[in-house]
Chain A
Amino acid sequence: MKQPIVGLLLIVISQTGSGAPDVKDALELNVEDLLSVEVTSVSKKAQALNDSAAAVFVITQEDIKRSGVTSIPEALRMAPGMDVSRIDSNKWAVSTRGFNGRFANKLLVLIDGRNTYTRSFSGVYWENQDVMLEDVERIEVIRGPGATLWGANAVNGVINIITKHSAKTQGALLVAGGGTEERGFGGFRYGGRLNEDTSGRVYVKGFNRDANSRADAEPAGDSWDKAQGGFRLDSRFSLQDELTVQGDLYHSTINQTLAIPQIAAPYQNRFGDQGDAYGGNVLSRWQHTISTRSDYSLQLYYDYYRRNEAWFSEGRDTLDLDFQHRFGLFDSHEVIWGFGYQYTHDHTEAGSLLRLSPASRNDQLFSSFIQDEIELIGNTLWLTLGSKFEHNDYSGFEGQPTARLMWAPHSQHRFWAAVSRAVRTPSRAEQNMSILQTVQPPPGFFPAVAVYLNGERSYRAEDVIAYELGYRTTFIKALSLDVTAFYNDYDNLRNASQGAGTFDPVSGVVVVPLALNNNFQAKTYGYEIAAVWQMLDWWRWDANYSLLKSDFATTTNFIAAAGPQQRLSLRSALSWRKDLDFDLWLRYVDSNAAVGVFGLQQIDDYVTMDVRLAWRPALNLELSVVGQNLLSDSHLQFRQENQTLPTFIDRGMYGKVAWNF
């Protein structure tokens, strides 16, 4: 079987390698012929080179559709170097270049300019973030620090989810489906024009996801359902002004099995919890264009979320204002600067695991940034210098500079290098929490030992100096390659020091406090490779591989989770007939370790595969069948730092109908 495939590949290489005759053919044709010849633009994705001096990967609408994913975190698995692990049905650990966890804190995530980061733990509640996936224009995944433009906490990466302009989502779209893990889902969007200058859309969506399994194949009690709706309005009220207003509302019921330490025997309480999460946001953005090289925008949003869980409950309001101005200066400078203000208010209630004190807090954040892209040699060499300055109520003043160089010696080659500093500002929990970490049952005659992890008011920001090198090329037509190497030097990372135990006569246990401090250092390094090969007009390959090495200081009491060393993703997108798609997605993830209150949990490496088959009986109707995680009944991807028991992600199948009308 192997021989014919090799032969086939060789034919294809010789075929796609010769781009020149194609161009000549076109020049020899007259206009009538040029207008009657069949044209193709499929290889564009394999040829277009990104022009930014950063490790950028773009997930397109086409990628989302053809991968069969049903959530944002699952879509992020397509990007090189993204470490996405599903903890259970409704929780993910998402990071890049290490330090992953359910409460991972080094990745900044924006949806249409709205920051989804929560101050509570300096991270993202992925289960709260959703959009109508069919209305996503693209997801930009930027590995490495993006703090200069995007702000604090863009330490290891930035995810920028951008939905389509409402003028591009006109008409109705109905999607519905169901299956084994995706028990049932549906969505409806309608877009229309209010007047000549204003377009808009509204949508509703909902889903119900099945519980996964324990190691013994018993149900894990982690089923999840969610309903969400929203709108977007875009109005061009003058030739130079555009106003966007958008918003979302959601409610979800999160089922989970909690394993929470308690002071009385049996010292750990396991029970099913039905959590509630709901919220909404409204955002408006005004963009004014002064000239082709100058525009500014003013954005204001309000976001609210509330979560009620047995271990902890919180609500948070965030009000955020951002201004940005871009302008060309002389011939060779492109300057962008801006400022922002954020006000956030929370209201928390202690649960069985976590208590914040004070229970409610108001915080402010002031920030400004400036960046100048200087064209040193016309269309060949650019230098970008910039810095963000911010003041927050947790760690005070922070500066985050960057220097980037981009060299394009030829239209088919790009080299870039960057040095940046980024900080991860302290979370609310890190300064104000008291969490019952573990209770050790009484050893014989002695009392039980309760270990509490306590926040520290003096907890500071973590920081990184990141060095990056990159190369992109499309050396033959229909094949592009993107390679990035990085070296990250972290300082002031989170660590904990153990205090002296004291006997508490009231509860009858020895209380041992663990206090947070910043005296942990680490270095990580590695590389990421991404390739796109348009083998034929109707057959494309997307492959990526990433390697991550870490070197942790030995001074830590915490063992940091480095993330799997190697990840591989290989996608094949085949459409041998215009009305048929056949997609395969193979993933390999190296063995991993999750670290938390349950100690060190080894997670085996795994290989898994998703398959999608789609048929369009009519231009506006698509029927598809998707199989996910097909290679085993269930497999473990991650274990949360605390609270939940290991959950094995089940194989799933679903069918889907999408109808545009």
Chain B
Amino acid sequence: MVNAIRVCRLALLASAASVCSAAPAVLEQYSVFAALTLNFARFTQWPVNAFADSSSGLNVCLAGDNVLLQSFESIDGKSVGNRLINIVNSERLRNLNQCQILFIGELSNNVLLQVFLDIKNQPVLTIGEDADFVASGGMVAMVNVDGKIQLHVNLAAVKASDLNISSNLLRLAKIVGDR
């Protein structure tokens, strides 16, 4: 709340009152991505063989820059059922089959397609940042449309990897491609 007041005071100084009108403060895109990813971790069922054992953590692998890494620190160690989230820096795209969630920030298209080939039919939930991501074979895209995030889900790809996303989450998403 203090922040909001400050923003408004500043806005008045700069005579641009319009920024005050959006009541809940504007959030930084990557912290929203991290929070949404936490929700996907909680509302997705992985097959039993996706984990080494019942106590192993849920690996959220990140392929992107320091901004992505820093934003996802906020969900490191959060509990998901009886597992804890473990953030893994996968910038080098190695050992991707150890990931339960793979968040891909920026990758050139040719490498991205190879990532999908590498983990094809393996229980890795892939999340990306633009609509093309699901069109190219990714599972979930968090797309910024005019300042708000929309979820796009490629349900066929999710099912092919033996994953199950709760319908509570799916009904908030735009389903892309075949069901």
Contact = CB atoms under 8 A, between A and B. Distances in A.
A323 B144 CA distance: 38
A27 B114 contact: no
B136 to A, nearest CB: 10
A411 B70 contact: yes
Contacts of B65: 48-49, 51
Contact of B149 (A35, A290, A474, A536): A35
Contact of A289 (B18, B73, B96, B110): B110
Which of A11, A41, A537 has most chain B Cβ within 10 Å? A41
B66 to A, nearest CB: 5
Contact of B115 (A12, A24, A292, A334): A292
A349 B28 CA distance: 61
Nearest to A5: B13
Interface in B137-165: 144, 147-151
B38 A27 contact: yes
A319 B91 CA distance: 36
A474 B14 CA distance: 26
A36 B148 contact: yes
A576 B14 contact: yes
B79 to A, nearest CB: 13
Interface residues of B, number: 56
Contacts of A293: 92-94
Contacts of B80: none
A38 interface: yes
Interface stretch (A14-22, A68-76, A122-130): A14-22
Interface string B99-137: 000000000011101110110000000000000000000
Nearest to A287: B110
B32 A37 contact: yes
B48 interface: no
A95 interface: no
Given A38-B147, A289-B111, A331 B25 contact: no
A18 B92 CA distance: 31
B92 A328 contact: yes
A34 B13 contact: no
B150 to A, nearest CB: 7
Contacts of B13: 4, 8
Nearest to B65: A48
A301 B111 CA distance: 24
B35 A26 contact: yes
A240 interface: yes
Contacts of A34: 32, 35-36, 39, 149
B60 interface: no
Given A11-B10, A27-B38, A292-B93, A22 B148 contact: no
B6 A39 contact: no
A11 B3 CA distance: 10
Contacts of B144: 39, 41
Contact of A18 (B3, B36, B67): B3
Contacts of A19: 28
Given A35-B149, A291-B118, A293-B93, A29 B6 contact: no
Interface string A237-278: 001101000000000000000000000000000000000000
A632 to B, nearest CB: 30
Contacts of A14: 6
Given A34-B36, A36-B148, A39-B144, A240 B70 contact: no
A358 B75 CA distance: 70
Given A23-B31, A291-B118, A536 B10 contact: yes
A375 B89 CA distance: 14
B112 to A, nearest CB: 9
13 contacts: A12-B10, A31-B169, A34-B35, A35-B151, A39-B26, A41-B28, A41-B30, A43-B28, A48-B65, A289-B114, A291-B114, A295-B110, A576-B19
Given A44-B67, A48-B65, A287-B110, 12 more contacts: A27-B31, A34-B32, A37-B27, A38-B24, A38-B26, A40-B29, A40-B147, A47-B67, A291-B114, A293-B93, A536-B10, A538-B16
